Structure 1
Amino acid sequence: MSSSCDPRYAPAGDVGAALMVIDSRLKAVYDGTSGTDPEQQQLIDQFTASLSPRAAGEVLDGACTLIFMFMNWLRMAYEDHDKDVIEYVVPNLVATMRMMPRSVRPEVIPTMAGLLVAAGTGLSPSLWRKQYGEWTEKEMTPLEATAFLLAEHINRLTDDRDFASRMIVEALSNAARE
């Protein structure tokens, strides 16, 4: 039986813009600037301020698509080793988010964990979240952090700082060709 949260019913959103934000955060962390570079933050702030409400929604859906794609890749990778992605990824990411109280408020961690579980079980994170109402301002940074932490987890597993971003770019390129 098909679920109302089946990914085929979900908008993909602006995956490219969402990936650009996540990739710039990854590069900042890998370069040792930890995202505190004022110039980079100003560029991201200008970008987000330039978005119409519809475009912002597209980037938000794109971030959810990234989370789905990252969790799907992780699920397959963990299954290859007879491990469960939810058991190995969700507690790790939740523990990391708990160590980020300025960026990730404790009250939104259950929502982010729910997004991870939804994606890890093959459901669309954006459609799963939509069941509970509109996104809140307090959830935007944690959503970005969730996508970032998944990408970083994949990069660490593959021992390749660009693997997660390259995987998405290749998927987008293949989709454009089809």
Structure 2
Amino acid sequence: MSSPCDPKYAPAGDVGAALMLIDSRLKTVYDGKTETDPEQQQLIDQFTASLGPDGVHDLLDGACTLIFMFMKWLRMAYEDHDKDVIEYVVPNLVATMRMMPKSVCPEAIPTMAGLVIAAGTGLSPSLWRMQYGEWTINEMNPLEATAFLLAEHINRLTQDRDFATRLITDALSRADQERDV
């Protein structure tokens, strides 16, 4: 039986823009900075302000697509070692978010854990979230943090700071090539 949260029913959103934001955050952290450069933050703010309502929804869907793709890769990687992705990723994610009270309010942590569990079980995070109404402003930073933490987890596992970004850009390139054929 097909689920209404099956990824085939989900919009992909603006994966490129979502990836750009996550990659920017990764580079900031890897460069040893504890805070985003004010100029870089201003550019990010200008970019997101220019999106408009439809663009913001596309960005949210793109972030959920990233979460789905990262969890799919993590699920396969953990299964190769006879481990459960939920058991190894979710507790670490929740514990890390609890240490980020400025970026992630405690009320958003269960929702973000739910998104990751949905993705880890093969469901669309955006369709899973849609069951509970519109996104709230308090979920924006936690959503970004979730995608960031999953990308960083992948990079740590592979010992390659660009692996998660490359994983997505390669998938996007393959999708463009298949569409052109």
Same fold (TM over 0.5): yes
RMSD: 0.5
Q: What's the TM-score, normalizing by structure 1?
A: 0.99
**Alignment partner, residue 77 of structure 2:** 77
C-alpha distance in structure 2 between counterparts of 1:77 and 1:18, whole Å: 23
1:165 aligns with 2:165: yes
User: Where in structure 2 are the equivalents of 1:94-133 lying within 5 Å?
Assistant: 94-133=94-133
1:174 aligns with 2:174: yes
Could you list the per-position Cα deviations for residues 46-95 of structure 1 after superposition, in whole angstroms to 9, with x for gaps in the alignment?
10111110011001000000000000000000000000000000000000
**Alignment partner, residue 141 of structure 2:** 141
Contact 1:25–1:35, Cα closer than 8 Å, also in 2: no
SS of residue matched to 1:42: helix
1:37 aligns with 2:59: no
Q: Give the C-alpha shift of residue 18 in structure 1.
A: 0.1
Deviating runs (4+, > 2 A) in structure 1?
none
**Alignment partner, residue 156 of structure 2:** 156
Structure 2 unaligned spans of 5+ = none
Contact 1:25–1:34, Cα closer than 8 Å, also in 2: no
Letter in 2 for 1:120: G
SS of residue matched to 1:151: helix
C-alpha distance in structure 2 between counterparts of 1:56 and 1:32, whole Å: 29
**Alignment partner, residue 63 of structure 1:** 63
Q: Give the C-alpha shift of residue 164 in structure 1.
A: 0.1
How many residue pairs get aligned? The number is 178
Q: Give the C-alpha shift of residue 36 in structure 1.
A: 2.5
Contact 2:13–2:65, Cα closer than 8 Å, also in 1: yes
Q: Give the C-alpha shift of residue 108 in structure 1.
A: 0.6
Q: Give the C-alpha shift of residue 35 in structure 1.
A: 3.7
Q: What's the TM-score, normalizing by structure 2?
A: 0.97
Q: Give the C-alpha shift of residue 34 in structure 1.
A: 3.0
Deviates more, 1:30-39 or 1:63-72: 30-39
C-alpha distance in structure 2 between counterparts of 1:141 and 1:34, whole Å: 16
Q: Give the C-alpha shift of residue 32 in structure 1.
A: 1.1
Letter in 2 for 1:85: V
C-alpha distance in structure 2 between counterparts of 1:35 and 1:11, whole Å: 32
SS of residue matched to 1:160: coil
**Alignment partner, residue 91 of structure 1:** 91
Structure 1 unaligned spans of 5+ = none
